[in-house]
């Protein structure tokens, strides 16, 4: 009788363990890139495909879902694929800005489960090497005299990611971003040409694009908009935060899942990413793809994304971009 009870108990435990493992199994991993092949969303999915190959039982499939710079994808994962346990969707900070400004219609940051990061780039405050602004403090003193006293520019229109970098910095000293003298360029390359040619005095770009310009004697980075100091070759450049300005801008790439995905499925993916982050291979992939390490997954990441969107929404309202 005791043996039978022992056997029954063992069988029950085995079943529970097997059931738990089954619930957390990722059967057909898929990364949805909400754009055509070849862009940033494709790159984001390729990082997951390669970076998680040792964590998954089979190679992740990459599928493309273009439309509305992510609008079609977020709509699908809020209608027909809300609980898909096998699919993750690529996003960027641009996606978060679209949410903040209402470009995804009814869907907000609370309509998906933010999963994990692929890596990041960070904003950079750049001047010509011979600029009168030798430090960020000198630039901010000029802005304090008047928002229009400095001509700034970047590769994006008013309301874009690059415009938001400048807006955050000006707002950090309680000045009005709408009063900026802002020149919009078609891309970062054109903006750098404008800086070097004297059409603008300050360029708000990305740290990653500055790598090839360091040491050339043409431009200087006054500060990076990262939460902490970056590794070489940027280790000697101060952050806006450490200089006393609440103006961080992370150009984040990452993944979300449908809002009705089970905790088991969500946590299974979280653990896969955390395991991948601990490997040298994942760091190598990030570097090869031009990204800096920013490794977060699970609730910490979900909370962080929601705070970022809320902050973007506040800036957008103050700048008159939304009601």
Mind giving me the DSSP string for 2-41?
HHHHHHHHHHHHHHHHHHHHHHT---S-EEEESS-TTSHH
- In angstroms, the CA 133 to CA 272 distance is 46
* Res 12: pLDDT: 41
CA distances from 222 to 97, 138, 139, 172, 311 (A): 25, 10, 9, 16, 24
122-224 architecture in CATH? 3-Layer(aba) Sandwich (3.40)
- In angstroms, the CA 164 to CA 159 distance is 6
CB neighbour list of residue 107: distance below 8 Å, 6 or more residues apart: 74, 75, 78, 99
* Res 75: pLDDT: 97
- In angstroms, the CA 127 to CA 139 distance is 10
Could you tell me how far CA 281 lies from the centroid of its own chain?
21
Average pLDDT across each block of 10 residues of the chain; the chain has 323 residues. List them in order. 43 40 73 88 93 95 92 96 97 92 94 97 94 97 96 87 90 92 87 94 88 84 93 91 94 95 97 97 90 94 95 83 81
- Domain span(s) for CATH 3.40.190.10 in the chain: 122-224
CB neighbour list of residue 110: distance below 8 Å, 6 or more residues apart: 259, 306
CB neighbour list of residue 162: distance below 8 Å, 6 or more residues apart: 154, 155, 156, 188, 191, 204, 205
Q: Could you identify the residue written with the tokens 């199994």? A: 25
Query: What token pair was written down for 163?
Result: 């415009």
Q: Could you identify the residue written with the tokens 């000006």? A: 170
Could you please state the CATH topology (level 3) that the domain comprising 8-120+251-318 is classified under: D-Maltodextrin-Binding Protein; domain 2 (3.40.190)
- Grouping H, G, I as helix, E, B as strand and the rest as coil, residue 301 is helix
- In angstroms, the CA 162 to CA 182 distance is 11
* Res 287: pLDDT: 86
- In angstroms, the CA 135 to CA 131 distance is 10
- φ, ψ of residue 125 to 5 degrees: the values are -100, 110
- φ, ψ of residue 59 to 5 degrees: the values are -65, 135
- Domain span(s) for CATH 3.40.190.150 in the chain: 8-120+251-318
> Burial, 172: exposed, middle or buried (Cβ in 10 Å; 0-12, 13-18, 19+)?
middle
* Res 264: pLDDT: 96
- What does pTM read for this prediction? 0.75
């Amino acid at each position: 009788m005791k043996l039978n009870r022992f056997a029954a108990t063992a069988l029950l435990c085995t079943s529970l363990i097997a059931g738990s493992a089954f619930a957390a199994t990722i059967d057909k991993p898929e990364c949805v890139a909400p754009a055509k092949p070849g862009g940033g969303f494709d790159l984001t999915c390729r990082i997951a495909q390669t970076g998680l190959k040792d964590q998954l039982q089979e190679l992740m499939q990459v599928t493309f879902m273009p439309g509305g710079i992510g609008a079609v994808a977020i709509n699908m994962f809020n209608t027909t694929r809300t609980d898909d346990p096998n699919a993750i969707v690529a996003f960027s900070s641009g996606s978060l800005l679209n949410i903040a400004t209402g470009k995804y219609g009814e869907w907000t940051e609370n309509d998906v489960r933010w999963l994990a990061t692929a890596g990041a780039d960070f904003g950079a405050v750049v001047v010509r090497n011979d600029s009168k602004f030798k430090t960020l403090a000198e630039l901010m003193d000029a802005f304090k005299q008047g928002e229009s006293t400095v001509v700034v520019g970047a590769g994006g229109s008013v309301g874009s990611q690059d415009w938001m970098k400048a807006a955050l910095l000006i707002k950090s000293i309680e000045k009005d971003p709408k009063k900026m003298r802002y020149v919009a360029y078609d891309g970062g390359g054109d903006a750098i040409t404008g800086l070097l040619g004297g059409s603008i005095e300050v360029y708000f770009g990305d740290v990653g694009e500055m790598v090839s310009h360091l040491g050339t004697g043409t431009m200087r980075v006054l500060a990076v908009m990262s939460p902490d100091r970056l590794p070489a070759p940027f280790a000697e450049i101060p952050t806006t935060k450490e200089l006393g300005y609440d103006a961080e801008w992370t150009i984040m790439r990452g993944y979300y899942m449908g809002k009705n995905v089970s905790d088991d499925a969500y946590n299974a993916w979280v653990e896969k990413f955390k395991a991948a982050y601990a490997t040298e291979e994942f760091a190598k992939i990030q570097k090869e793809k031009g990204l800096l390490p920013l490794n977060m997954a699970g609730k910490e990441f979900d909370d962080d994304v929601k705070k970022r969107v809320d902050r973007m929404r506040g800036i957008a309202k103050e700048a008159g971009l939304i009601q």
